[in-house]
Amino acid sequence: MENGKEQSGKEQNGKGQPDTPNKFQRKALQVPVAQEKALAYVQPGETEIISLKESDGRILAADVIAPHPYPAFRRSGMDGYAVRSEDTLACEEGETVWLKVVDHIPCGYVSSVPITEGTTSRIMTGAQVPDGADAVVMLEATESRSENGETYIGLKRAIEPGKNVTPRGFELQEGELILAKGREIGPGEISVLATFGVHEVEVYRRPVVGIFSTGTELLDIDEPLQPGKIRNSNTYMLAAQIREAGGTPVVMEAIPDDIELARSKVASALQEYDIVVTTGGVSVGDYDIMGELVASGGVDMLFNKVTMRPGSVTTAAVKDGKLLFALSGNPGACFVGFLLFVRPAIRKKLGMTQLHLAEWTAELGADYSKVNNFTRFVRGRLGVREGRLVATPAQLDESSVMVTIKDSECLIVIPPELKGASKGHPVTVLVLPGAWS
């Protein structure tokens, strides 16, 4: 049963918990409106300077400009001989052109012998092409002979100017923008930064995100199962999601459904961490303390209902400019609530520009019949059929269902006006982090 906890809560209501009169009246915001409302409180955070060696996955906080051209010198693309192309023109008349070898140029060595008419230097891939030469002939295209202690190489084919020579600045010119602020550092970025000797980088500090779950039913993951109780999976799922988003999770102990305990925990967490995320207790049940906490002052509520499923009860508040996201306890809703609201906030704090999940268009892989007044974000798999992207909804996609989260590659967006959708219908999909990338 999807909302079992609220039902048991109601049974216990007989023990005398009065209902708060207006706690059921919530104004539902559209997802983009709610997202913007929360994101308005987020500014890119502080920056720090770290070693490039440790920078994988971090976000650049400043533009990086090329301090020199790259390549910085004319570079040979082959093992062979550096020549003046005009010396090889005679090959066009069928002659073998013989050139005297005047130097031997390994990588890292700069020849002081310029190439003049009738001469050549043996050169290796990656070495600086000597002055005077404008092409490199591959070793395989040459023959050699020795005469009076000198080596000559013979060429049978003319070579065009520039052949096998990478010009200075071919990849980047001095002063060109290498990487813009807001860029995530990955292997390619590390390669380019290392090339330019940028051994330290200014990056945004990872936002520290405090997490705690609420629920008297929660056991920690190392505890044996007890009647009526469940293990706390949301906290650890969220910690992983926070890490993926670029934040540093701080796992706090779960608390029972005690509003005063939650209040003090929220207050101290908001002082200590950049963002606070809770799960559970945001609906209208008797023990849904987070909904009540947010509505009862101490923090400014931004919203407590969003026109989405799962996660309709996703709640957000702000205190001294810091965001509190109170996500649903239902694992599916917690997962989606994080992706739509918390992840973009972490990414904005990190100075990233692409805050939201990538949006693609796909064909629905199976009929989807559930109708709702709210936009559904249905867990699904992505595949390609006859060259077209296909998104297939999970068999079990209820908010309370945990097990299909692990199989999801996207969230299929089913707006209410579709009234369900049949197989083949074009749908927007939000691609989950890590899926297909």
Ligand X SMILES: Nc1nc2c(c(=O)[nH]1)N[C@H]1C(S)=C(S)[C@@H](COP(=O)(O)OP(=O)(O)OC[C@H]3O[C@@H](n4cnc5c(N)ncnc54)[C@H](O)[C@@H]3O)O[C@H]1N2
Q: Which residues here bind ligand MOO, judged by CB under 6 A?
A: 309-313, 328, 330, 333, 399
From candidates 35, 55, 213, 283, binder to Mg ion by CB under 5 A: 283
- CA pair distance 292, 19, nearest whole angstrom: 11
215 touching Mg ion, by CB under 5 A: no
Rounded CA-CA distance 182/323 in Å is: 21
Give the 3-state secondary structure of residue 6: helix
CB of 181 to ligand MOO, least distance (A): 36
Output the six-digit token pair for 299: 């923090």
Residue 229: HSE in the Cβ half-sphere, 13 Å Cα cutoff = 16
Stretch that binds ligand X, among 130-138, 307-315, 357-365, 418-426 (CB under 6 A): 307-315
Q: Is residue 120 part of the contact set for ligand X (CB under 6 A)? A: no
Instruction: With contacts defined by CB under 5 A, name the span among 41-49, 219-227, 255-263, 284-292 that binds Mg ion.
Output: 284-292
Contact 141, 157 (CB under 8 A): yes
d(CA 405, CA 396): 10
Tell me which residue of 189, 249, 210, 252 sits closest to 56, measured CA to CA: 189
* Residue 119 or 312 having the CB closest to ligand X: 312
- Please state, in angstroms and rounded to a whole number, the distance separating the CA atoms of residues 212 and 407: 25
How many residues form the binding site for ligand X (CB under 6 A)? 31
28, exposed or middle or buried, with CB in 10 Å at 0-12, 13-18, 19+?
middle
What, of ligand X, Mg ion, ligand MOO, none, does residue 13 touch, CB below 5 to 8 Å by kind? none
In this complex, which beta carbon is closest to Mg ion, that of residue 207 or of residue 311?
311
Nearest distance, CB of residue 275 and ligand X, angstroms: 18
Q: CB within 8 A of 369, min separation 6: which ones?
A: 420
Which parts of 367-396 interact with ligand X (CB under 6 A)? Answer: none
Tell me how far, at minimum, the Cβ of 108 lies from ligand X, in Å.
Answer: 59
Binding status of residue 217 toward Mg ion by CB under 5 A: no
* Among the residue ranges 52-60, 139-147, 245-253, 322-330, the one whose residues contact ligand X (CB under 6 A): 322-330
274 binds, among ligand X, ligand MOO, Mg ion, none (CB under 5 to 8 A by kind): none
Give the residue, chosen from 80, 215, 246, 344, that forms a contact with ligand X under the rule CB under 6 A.
215
258 binds ligand X (CB under 6 A): no
Give the per-residue contact string, 273-292, with ligand X (x = CB under 6 A; - = no).
Answer: ------xxxxxxx--x----
Phi and psi (nearest 5°) for 246?
Answer: 110, 5
Task: Please return the burial class of 258, using the count of CB atoms within 10 Å of its CB with bins 0-12, 13-18 and 19+.
Answer: middle
Quote the CA–CA distance of 124 and 131 in Å, as a whole number: 15
List interacting residues with ligand X (CB under 6 A). Answer: 3-6, 213, 215, 217-218, 230, 232-235, 279-285, 288, 310, 312-313, 328-331, 333, 399-400
